[in-house]
Structure 1
Amino acid sequence: MRGQVPQTVTIAGSDSGGGAGVQADLKTFQAREVFGTSIFVALTAQNTKGVQQSLPVPRSFIEAQFASLADDFHIHAAKTGMLYDQEHVQTVADCYQKHSFGPLTVDPVMIAKGGHSLLKEEAIQTIKKNFYLKLTY
């Protein structure tokens, strides 16, 4: 990987206003001189006043995005954001296990700044089950 720009992926929802979600992650990656790729899990109608609506991406399309990136890129780190609901969390977890992109930072975005829920309540346990390490001392 010497001389190659590091590649990473954000697995999250979009923010049509550009201040959060995949759009903000890609800006951060660029500022840190990392080549950013993305997997969209959900879409939002959002601006600086708040989230007006959110919509999940079909799970089969999430799977296709993972496979597409794995086929062409050398991704060595990833982060999550908005994962929407239990089924989408499980899809992301299953795909990540199949196409590991290295270390994963889990940022379980649950509520937008304006109070709009971005994660269904039942998804919290699925996130814990699939992504949080069980530490032993």
Structure 2
Amino acid sequence: MSLTRTVLLATALPLLLLCGNAAIAQSAPPPAWDQLTPAQREQLIGPVRERWNGADAQERGRMLEHARRWQSMTPAERAEARHGLHSWKQLPPDQREEARALYSKLRTLPEAEREALRERWKQMTPEQRRRWAADNPAPPRRESRGP
């Protein structure tokens, strides 16, 4: 074996082992809550505490309701909720406003009218949707993270 090859193997082997250990560490499941250090727990809780302390009573009520609903969801429902939030974040601002207008209108309608509006919405062109949303604006948004 040549000296260059020996040096290369001697240098590369520890790097490969480190990469392998990093991959194993990344694939290992995260620890249970009881196994977290106090610092790790604080990292997780800190942002929620800050948001809670900065919220008014109405927002705190919404936060508690969201937590209650999240706890009652099945894993499949949680995955669907995450997917929906990811899809929402990918929407351009004008399409978000259209969706807000549509959903705020849907909340006020009886079920049969809701279904009719959904079907009509599916048939609309993008320009028709923009006009409809302009004619039926959503109420002003509260400061929040979601739709």
Does TM-score exceed 0.5, indicating one fold?
A: no
Give TM-score scaled by structure 1 length: 0.19
Return the index of the structure with the highest Cα Rg. 2
Report which of the two has the higher share of helix.
2
Work out which structure has the larger RCO, using CA pairs closer than 8 Å and 6 or more positions apart in sequence: 1
Report which of the two has the higher share of strand.
1
